[in-house]
Structure 1
Amino acid sequence: MGMGMTSAWSRWCSVLVLAGSVACGTIKSAPPTPPRQTKLDLGINQFELKNGMRVAIVTDMNAAEVTVTTRYDVGAVDDPAGKEGLAHLAEHLMFEQEYEGSTLYERLDRVASYHNAYTWLDSTVYETRVAPEDLDEVFTVEGARLALRCQGLSDEVFARERAVVENERKERAISNGIAAALGRAAFGAGHPYDRLIGGTQGSVAALTKADVCAFVDAHYAPGNAIVVVSGPISPEEVDAALGKLLGRVPQRNVFAGKPVPATTLAAGQVEIAAPVEDEFAVIAWTLPADAGLRARMRAVADLMVDRINFHAKGVAYLGTLGGDEASALAIFVEPADDETLAAALGAAERGISGLLQWLEEGHFEGARQAAIHQVFARLEDGSGRDGQIADHLAADRPPGATVGAELKAITSLDRDGVFSIARQHLRWTTARRIVVKPAAAAEAAKGSASDGAIHLARAHRLVADPALADKPADVFTKLNPLRQAQVRRLGNGIEVVLMPSSSTPTVDVRVVFAAGYGDEPQGRRGVALLTAHGLDWSGSDGKHVLNLRAAGGRVNYDVGLDHTSFEVTGMGMHLDYYLTGLERLIRNGRFGSLGIDAAAESVRRAVKAERDPVRNRLVDAYLAARYGKDHPYARASVRRHFDFGQLGADELSDFRDAHYRPDAMTIIIAGGFDAALADRWIDHLFADWGGKAAARADGPLAQPTPAAFALADETSHQLAIDMVWSVAPRRSGLAIDRVAAEMLAAFLDDVRAQLGATYGVQAEVTERRLDRAITLAGQIDARRAGEALALIRRRLDQLAAGGPDLAAAFVAARQRVLADLRAVRTGASALAASATYDAALEREVDTDVALAAEVGALTLDQMTTLGALVPGRAVVLAVGPKAALDAAARALGLTWATP
């Protein structure tokens, strides 16, 4: 073993799961069924370095990158009284130490496709994704973070980052306020979880650099850290890198995180006020420490949610409250427009208390299989797996044994076990029932430590060699799982995309049609959504529906501007049930009044947010300028424009007949499954389907009209701004646009890095079938809107001017785009979502592989898009206080229109 090992390697046990009694019949002449068992054999090794740092290595040879997750045993519960937000501000500043001429943020930005950090109640977590050859650089950064702590942090950098965090508090005031109110109602006043993660704007403004430095010295040390490394890398490679870098950070005595006592939620009902628009309720029970019992409680609660949704007009869904050391299982209940909260709670009581009289074998087995899937899905690449492993280690729970206990508890769960869980742990009478009523959001602090101007004399953070601007870049594609996609087309036109590239035995199965909101006829707005949501199985297909549900499958729907998808997630061993259920729904489904009414109600719930007529007129005018007044995108997805009065079963059938046809269809399967067997099932179920879809127009392409719209909102402490530049919506030029957007994003970072006037202003390329655009969006401190927008204007002018002064920025942006194109998450749903995006754009699933080659070949002289990125050629939308709007208009040289 390498340097610093104090215990032997351990191996995550293989886990074998056998399916329960799912099938209730077979299909004549069908292909073989998949083996009704599944196996997980992810490699995990864990050990401890001599300096006290604990390490876990997850060998995932299907991953495209290496992920390093570092968890510190310190979180919001450790904020001293009166210094709320200290842990979160420390997290921000731990990217800003200078090491060998660059900040840690800059060093990560050069090599990482993704890096970020999060402060939770009980922990602070840093996550970085890189190519395997850059692992040493990540360990260098993590070692420097521990060794330097506050060294090299200037007063100016501290003031700027504190202002950034204040702006973050403003942006998240409502969501954080809701979470804090629920935490207090659930766990009680004075409990360690009775707090606002990140503090308030006022509490952050009062923090000093000395506060942060003392906090970091007290908590950031090897013995308080857990590092999880995952990806296509061997334990020996990680061991060698650790020994050279993190293993050399000396051990220090520090304070462990504040212990959180075991907590039992008080039974009964309580009413609270929170910054919400509509009332809702939460029904919660204490989750025990035992992993198996927790898994069983989730499975049974999932059954209860189904039953509540049967009784209620609104919607119920499952969630959690609390943190790592004390948590609660929670059912959230939202009433419908024509339903009182009392009625919704009555439905919830019937669903929870009546479970024992209602439970049927198919529903029980479906809940059990869905629970098995949830355990495995949490082990997918990109699912939060590594953070979960770190949490297990922090609580002295061996990760492999914990997963094994969860699976054993679920697979051994029978009907008697369901009844036992419901009676002992999930009774209505023992629940903590929280009724949440609307209240005004707390006003942000008017004054703060950052009232004075912050100006750091440094250019944008990305630094690269300008001499490389005229030379092609190296392109890293050897591990890109998109290259492994298996694509073919059936004789009837169906495209099949198989992506068996996951290390877990989960699957995401999708049927995607080339039709969405943008394909709706005039006078039938909303027909795409109601067609998808209103489609139900024929009564003659009951056997196949039961098989699908007993296998843990549930059909979800997604309708976009350019596509409609039907989606099922579950275990690969049940792939035949999922495909058969989808085939029966799509080919043989029917429209009933109950399904249409339920779909319309789900839309009406979403429309409730669109209540302000002035804001509605502004949005309509903005979209008309953005796409063109008569463009199908201009009103297509604005749900208050849906023509519900003109939509019935006949109209839905017309849309289905025109668009749900094999030559407009893509079948996508991603995850861990037998691709050859999947192909046989697809041929068996879909190859004989005939028919042609209605011709789809290739236009009109978006025709934007530059304009600037504003809405005054004196209740806001920030200016929200969107700027959009349309570019050619075709494959040609995409590489240039991606690099141009990344150059803009780097320059926009100056608003944060130099002024501290925002939590973030972003830029990206948005793509649709009939439009492609570069967008700028973010929220800016209203008091500093003028100087922030003036800086943005200078950066836009700098980009538009072009020339050799942009060489370094171009090289850095090109490298960032290549890193982003390399960063493919190999979890089943992540892969399926990527393929769905490509299908909606009518392009090949491996388009990004070819795009990476084009990006690598780009040179600075080809960056023609940059000249168009000026305010006068954009469609702009801004919302904020009038004084901030006036300052922004002056800075950008615009005149606001107010519809």
Structure 2
Amino acid sequence: MTKFFALAGVASIALAAPLHAQTSPQAAKPAPVASLVKQVDIPYQQFTLPNGLRVIVHTDRKAPVVAVSVWYDVGAKHEPKGSTGFAHLFEHLMFNGSENAPDDFFEPLKQVGATDFNGTTNLDRTNYFETVPTGALERALFLESDRMGYLLGAITQAKLDEQRGVVQNEKRQGDNQPYGLTRYKITEGLFPADHPYGHDTIGSMADLDAASLQTVKDWFTGHYGPNNAVLVLAGDVDVATAKTLVTKYFGSIKAGPKSVKRPAPVPTLAAPKAETIKDRVAAVMVSRNWAIPGGNDPDAAALDVAASVLGGLASSRLDNVLIKQDKLAVNVSAYAGGGAQVSNFGIRAIVKPGVDPKLVEQRIDAILADFLKTGPTQDEVNRVVTTRVASTIGGLESVGGFGGKAVALAQGALFYDDPGFYKVRLARLAAQTPASVKAAADKWLGRPAYALTVVPGPRDAYAEAQVPPAVAVKAAPETPVKGTRGPLPPVGALTGLTFPTVQRAKLRNGIEVVYAQRNAVPVTQAVLSFDAGIAADVPGKLGTQGLTLAMIDEGTTTLNSIRFAEAKERLGAQIGTGGSLDRTTLSLQVPSANLKPALALFADVARNPAFDEAELARVKAQTIAGIQQELTNPQGLIGRVVPRVTYGPDYPYAKAQGGGDPRAVAGLTRADLVAFRNAWLRPDKAKIFVTSDRPLAEVTAALDAALGDWTATGAAGAKNFAVAQTPAKPGILLIDRPDSPQSVIVGVVPTALKGTQDLLPLNTANDALGGSFLGRLNMDLRENRHWSYGARGGFQTAEQAAPFILSAPVQADKTGPSLASARDDVVAFLGKEPMTEVEFRRAINGAINALPGTYETSDAVLSAMQSNDLYKRPDDYQTTLTARYRGYTLPQLNTAIQGALDPKRITWVVVGDAAKVKPQLDSLGLPVEVMAASAVAGAPAGPVTATK
């Protein structure tokens, strides 16, 4: 690998006892990549029905659940001119009921405890998926078959109008983000308008508005037949059972037209093309973009490696030069992929404030030119492959969802006619050499690029932001077809949750190890959890905890930041930091074959952070730039304002201010970080939570070798929760964010609750208000009024508090009515219209039946172990839930939530365009205070310079 700068000398600091010499992270030898690749295996069987439905079955008995995943060969690339967005619109419509299951599909799926149920659309396909208890498989197959073969009669003009509005608000929600219009510009810049990949999946507002009931029905008839689909069943099922049930429910559906794969050549620009757009962003973004071949092209794997080496790894060349060496950018990335036939290759950099963007572009071009000239090193290629294989192993623990085993099998079958294509992809990655990567990069990245620059300024007017006038639709009388297949099949016997036994041990220095064995994948996950968190941040110096965490993995006394990143990648290890209101964490995930060397590296980070002065200056500048970005992002603004509104300015949890106070961060010194680390990130404030396929004795011995002689020095930090909460008075705080096509509404209801209390009755009752898709808030603002893509609400639980917070992004012209409607929903639920018997049964049944799926993965178990510890619950808490749910009564739940929440105490925070929104809010009978977004951080909006 080309060395961009010499290894900097790092002064050692006496923060803790050093690691044992024999466990030096630099000397650690990883397991061979080939041995890791062999661990990736998803055995399957398949069969095809006479009507063309391809069925793939994978048996996994680790939990009594089955993932059901249906992939249709229809995506945005199949849409003709004038019909953009139809595939995605139809994905939504197919959740709204069929002829034999006329209500929202979320209702029967929730009743049986489905987890990971959703649908997605991209350029190449549409898919629907849910993970259900084994006894509910037959019901899930009935529902999937009914929307495949018996949907048309259930589609009405009202449903079309409803979901069209929801989709348009989904589009606005994406557009409302900083840099939110770049996806459209890059597509336009790379592809001819008539190319199959020449428009975005979400479609245009005009085409969505023009969709008629007949065109939508024609779209379904032309694309959603069984011979155009792949069905994957993965989990607690065998092929004989699958064949019987699939034939029963899908066998009578007639074949339809087969999707035709339109020619999709990879376009090449005749000459370099550059465009600049304005957006309300805090920093300039520059990018380079190319169209490249799809996933099955011989060059796809090589380009994937090239993207990772350039900007995908933590040790990437763009990171090393633009961020760490030259300090010209605060964020860089490179990616390759996205399509089955055609993909995108992109390089993106967020320019450091005060730096000339042209200089950043020149450096990107120079780095790319050097890469095309010399190619990657073998070590770079190996690190990419190891990292990718390790990530794949961990991701395949889940049978379904967005990225589990069912996804891998379905994608390979639909796109490449090979369910085992995941192995082909990994084999191709593992076969890459510096020469093969260089050749592919020369071929595809040596062509003219489309360069897009986004600069700060008022967003240019664009048609998609306009809200068209309401047009009355004269619809024919709607008489949905009544199905003839009979009622939903009964649910079979459901197996209850089997939560793993939690074991405990201690290291020599007294650090407690909380452990659960998980054998589904050969992976170990560990979380070193400190009793610190945002509540421990330093008054007057908010951002100290965050900057300390940002610096923890920026080099140790034995490895600088680049060497650390490289060592981590050679092991396929993910080492990261995190924090909640109450805890600060250092986490590790690694293939168990590399556990010992990874723990040596993990311990080096925990015990010997260097806090190098040169790295600190850079990370401070990145943090300050991130804070400025928060002030342009609707969720960033919410995250900074709501804690102060919820708790008052002095309560420890009000310290949650995103990246912190920019002026305080600018003034922080190395001594400040060392002091915070010594007071809070120390062994006497730590516990270690572990899930692993390796036994407790082996894991504890490895942890003890790495951390057992770590001792604390000096005084430990202490939190002060004696300060009273002083929530803001009821009213509306409007954060002015001009050019926003949506407003984000947040309602805060303070409570006297704590997370250590029994909140299960309250959370169960809230299922009917804001805790689920079928909750009243979402059904009102999304499904009934279609003013939002989604609304929710719940208790935001921390150790010492549990306020109720609801949120909804809504279209700008409906901000006032949306807030009024959400307020009415809350008032009614807590007053004259409490939880009903139907809502009660749905919540109880769904919660009980979902337990096996909820805790299917090690991630979920690890999270539960930490929550149980934080909230003072027993280790077997999850195993008590079924009996507790069954013991509740409807009056008990209504009494609990009505006693906890007072609707008269709601304070509202709205982020939106004040010129458009304030007149709507003024009519609601509440005082409205307007605040500029630049004032949210308590500092001027201009650039802040970090002290060195």
| Secondary structure at the counterpart of residue 760 of structure 1 | coil
In 1: Cα distance, 2:570 partner to 2:729 partner: 54
What one-letter code is carried by the residue in structure 1 that aligns with 2:617? D
Q: Which residue of 2 aligns with 1:723?
A: 747
Shift of 1:64: 6.0
Q: Which of 287, 302, 307 in structure 1 is aligned with 2:308?
A: 302
In 1: Cα distance, 2:504 partner to 2:97 partner: 47
In 1: Cα distance, 2:918 partner to 2:880 partner: 43
Q: Which residue of 2 aligns with 1:16?
A: none
Q: Does 1:678 align with 2:699?
A: yes
Shift of 1:186: 2.9
| Secondary structure at the counterpart of residue 337 of structure 1 | coil
Q: Which residue of 2 aligns with 1:797?
A: 827
| Secondary structure at the counterpart of residue 373 of structure 1 | helix
In 1: Cα distance, 2:90 partner to 2:31 partner: 51
In 1: Cα distance, 2:55 partner to 2:588 partner: 35
Q: Unaligned stretches of 5+ in structure 1? A: 1-24, 458-473
Shift of 1:817: 3.7
Shift of 1:655: 0.8
831 and 357 in structure 1: CA distance in 2 versus 1, 3 angstrom threshold: farther
Q: Which residue of 2 aligns with 1:747?
A: 776
In 2: Cα distance, 1:618 partner to 1:285 partner: 36
Q: Does 1:589 align with 2:591?
A: no
Q: Which residue of 2 aligns with 1:405?
A: 424
Do 1:267 and 1:433's aligned partners in 2 also have CA atoms closer than 8 Å? no
Matches within 5 A, 1:418-817: 418-426=434-442, 429-430=446-447, 432-438=449-455, 440=460, 442-443=462-463, 444-449=465-470, 478-480=496-498, 482-490=499-507, 492-501=509-518, 503-535=520-552, 536-540=554-558, 547-553=567-573, 555-611=575-631, 622-639=642-659, 641-642=661-662, 643-670=664-691, 672-673=693-694, 675-691=696-712, 693-697=716-720, 700=723, 702-711=725-734, 715-727=739-751, 728-745=753-770, 746-748=775-777, 749-785=779-815, 787-801=817-831, 806-817=836-847
Q: Which of 254, 259, 272 in structure 2 is aligned with 1:256?
A: 259
Shift of 1:242: 1.1
In 2: Cα distance, 1:581 partner to 1:216 partner: 54
| Secondary structure at the counterpart of residue 591 of structure 1 | coil
| Secondary structure at the counterpart of residue 335 of structure 2 | strand
The more displaced of 833-842 and 581-590 is 833-842
Report how many aligned residue pairs link the two structures.
850
Q: Which of 144, 157, 160 in structure 2 is aligned with 1:158?
A: 160
| Secondary structure at the counterpart of residue 778 of structure 1 | strand
Do 1:160 and 1:755's aligned partners in 2 also have CA atoms closer than 8 Å? yes
174 and 418 in structure 1: CA distance in 2 versus 1, 3 angstrom threshold: farther
Do 1:561 and 1:637's aligned partners in 2 also have CA atoms closer than 8 Å? no
387 and 422 in structure 1: CA distance in 2 versus 1, 3 angstrom threshold: same
In 2: Cα distance, 1:614 partner to 1:316 partner: 22
Q: Does 1:367 align with 2:384?
A: yes
| Secondary structure at the counterpart of residue 801 of structure 1 | coil
In 2: Cα distance, 1:497 partner to 1:714 partner: 49
Q: Which residue of 1 aligns with 2:110?
A: 109
Q: Which residue of 1 aligns with 2:250?
A: 246
Do 2:170 and 2:789's aligned partners in 1 also have CA atoms closer than 8 Å? yes
Q: Which residue of 1 aligns with 2:321?
A: 311
Shift of 1:848: 4.3
Do 1:177 and 1:275's aligned partners in 2 also have CA atoms closer than 8 Å? no
CA offsets per residue over residues 444-487 of structure 1, 9 Å max, x none?
23325567999x99xxxxxxxxxxxxxxxx9977445x534544
Do 2:375 and 2:437's aligned partners in 1 also have CA atoms closer than 8 Å? no
| Secondary structure at the counterpart of residue 237 of structure 1 | helix
Q: Which residue of 2 aligns with 1:19?
A: none
CA offsets per residue over residues 11-36 of structure 1, 9 Å max, x none?
xxxxxxxxxxxxxx9549xxx99976
432 and 750 in structure 1: CA distance in 2 versus 1, 3 angstrom threshold: same
CA offsets per residue over residues 702-725 of structure 1, 9 Å max, x none?
443442223266744544311122
Q: Which residue of 2 aligns with 1:72?
A: 72
When normalised by structure 1's length, the TM-score is 0.85
Shift of 1:70: 1.0
Q: Which residue of 2 aligns with 1:286?
A: 292
Shift of 1:810: 2.2
In 1: Cα distance, 2:634 partner to 2:693 partner: 50
What one-letter code is carried by the residue in structure 1 that aligns with 2:788? T
In 2: Cα distance, 1:853 partner to 1:701 partner: 36
What one-letter code is carried by the residue in structure 1 that aligns with 2:766? A
Do 1:311 and 1:348's aligned partners in 2 also have CA atoms closer than 8 Å? no
In 2: Cα distance, 1:545 partner to 1:153 partner: 53
Shift of 1:317: 1.9
The more displaced of 298-307 and 425-434 is 425-434
681 and 875 in structure 1: CA distance in 2 versus 1, 3 angstrom threshold: same
Q: Which residue of 2 aligns with 1:205?
A: 209
In 2: Cα distance, 1:291 partner to 1:499 partner: 42
When normalised by structure 2's length, the TM-score is 0.81
What one-letter code is carried by the residue in structure 1 that aligns with 2:172? K
Q: Which residue of 2 aligns with 1:328?
A: 344
What one-letter code is carried by the residue in structure 2 that aligns with 1:488? A
433 and 388 in structure 1: CA distance in 2 versus 1, 3 angstrom threshold: farther
In 1: Cα distance, 2:31 partner to 2:634 partner: 59
620 and 173 in structure 1: CA distance in 2 versus 1, 3 angstrom threshold: closer
Alpha carbon RMSD of aligned pairs, Å?
A: 3.8
Shift of 1:856: 3.6
157 and 244 in structure 1: CA distance in 2 versus 1, 3 angstrom threshold: same
232 and 671 in structure 1: CA distance in 2 versus 1, 3 angstrom threshold: farther
Do 2:630 and 2:658's aligned partners in 1 also have CA atoms closer than 8 Å? no
Q: Unaligned stretches of 5+ in structure 2? A: 1-20, 479-491, 932-948
| Secondary structure at the counterpart of residue 160 of structure 1 | helix
144 and 199 in structure 1: CA distance in 2 versus 1, 3 angstrom threshold: same
429 and 674 in structure 1: CA distance in 2 versus 1, 3 angstrom threshold: farther
What one-letter code is carried by the residue in structure 2 that aligns with 1:44? Y
In 2: Cα distance, 1:617 partner to 1:219 partner: 42
541 and 55 in structure 1: CA distance in 2 versus 1, 3 angstrom threshold: same
In 1: Cα distance, 2:186 partner to 2:137 partner: 40
| Secondary structure at the counterpart of residue 97 of structure 1 | coil
506 and 287 in structure 1: CA distance in 2 versus 1, 3 angstrom threshold: farther
Do 1:554 and 1:568's aligned partners in 2 also have CA atoms closer than 8 Å? yes
What one-letter code is carried by the residue in structure 2 that aligns with 1:434? A
What one-letter code is carried by the residue in structure 2 that aligns with 1:329? F
Do 2:576 and 2:587's aligned partners in 1 also have CA atoms closer than 8 Å? yes
Shift of 1:86: 1.9
| Secondary structure at the counterpart of residue 744 of structure 2 | strand
Do 2:176 and 2:740's aligned partners in 1 also have CA atoms closer than 8 Å? no
In 1: Cα distance, 2:361 partner to 2:76 partner: 33
In 2: Cα distance, 1:825 partner to 1:398 partner: 30
In 2: Cα distance, 1:317 partner to 1:300 partner: 12
Q: Which of 233, 239, 242 in structure 1 is aligned with 2:237?
A: 233
The more displaced of 513-522 and 812-821 is 812-821
In 1: Cα distance, 2:886 partner to 2:697 partner: 35
784 and 695 in structure 1: CA distance in 2 versus 1, 3 angstrom threshold: closer
What one-letter code is carried by the residue in structure 2 that aligns with 1:309? D
Q: Which residue of 2 aligns with 1:352?
A: 368
Do 2:551 and 2:616's aligned partners in 1 also have CA atoms closer than 8 Å? yes
Shift of 1:587: 1.2
Do 1:583 and 1:686's aligned partners in 2 also have CA atoms closer than 8 Å? yes
Q: Which residue of 2 aligns with 1:270?
A: 273
In 2: Cα distance, 1:70 partner to 1:575 partner: 37
Do 2:640 and 2:657's aligned partners in 1 also have CA atoms closer than 8 Å? no
Percent identity between the aligned chains? 21
